[in-house]
Amino acid sequence: FEKLMQLATERGYQIYLLGAKPEVVEALVKKLQKQYSQIKIVGYRDGYFGQNEEVIGDIKAARPDILCIAMGSPRQEKWIAGNLEKLRVPFAIGVGGSFDHVAGFSKRAPVWMQQAGLEWLYRFLKEPTRLWKRYLVGNLLFISLVIKQAMKKKP
């Protein structure tokens, strides 16, 4: 997400940020504008909304090139899948807890854990009751599906 914001600024892409709590997304916008004076944030909104149509109208009117959605997995992916056609945005991506991280509301794993591919473990240890299902059940299911698919492809 951070690299994407940098690249979008360099190339002049218009960005819309959707997700997280109101105070988080507001702090994020301020932080990004301070960090990248040329950044084009054409709209933002928190991820706790009732009326979907109103949000879609707001995004369409802002005409972003990039839509970043931080509403947690799999909610954000489902939201993109259900609304992308209506939005007419060329590029939409779910970015999970990135708004909270970049705005300074939550901490990332130590760099060595990020580099070792263990950020999931750090997050799991911090919030085991919320994340055990995602990481233990979800990951095993994912791996088994990958193996199943790989076996199928062999003649």
The answer to whether residue 59 forms part of the interface with ligand UDP (CB under 6 A) is no
Q: Which of 33, 35, 52, 73 binds ligand UDP (CB under 6 A)?
A: 73
Query: How far is 77 from 96, CA to CA, in rounded Å?
Result: 10
CB of 39 or CB of 70, closer to ligand UDP: 70
The answer to whether residue 70 forms part of the interface with ligand UDP (CB under 6 A) is yes
CB of 12 or CB of 139, closer to ligand UDP: 139
Q: Which of 71, 89, 92, 102 binds ligand UDP (CB under 6 A)?
A: 71
Q: Return the closest-CA partner of residue 47 out of 108, 99, 104, 101.
A: 99
CB contact at 8 A, 98 and 123: no
Q: Which of 1, 4, 14, 21 binds ligand UDP (CB under 6 A)?
A: 21
Question: Which segments of 95-153 does DSSP mark as H helices, in order?
Answer: 98-103, 111-115, 119-126, 128-132, 139-153
Please report which helix (H) or strand (E) contains residue 76, including its range.
helix 75-87
Q: Which of 13, 17, 100, 102 binds ligand UDP (CB under 6 A)?
A: 100
The answer to whether residue 20 forms part of the interface with ligand UDP (CB under 6 A) is yes
Please report which helix (H) or strand (E) contains residue 62, including its range.
helix 52-62
CB contact at 8 A, 40 and 12: yes
The answer to whether residue 28 forms part of the interface with ligand UDP (CB under 6 A) is no
Binding site for ligand UDP (CB under 6 A): 19-21, 24, 47-48, 70-73, 75, 96-97, 99-100
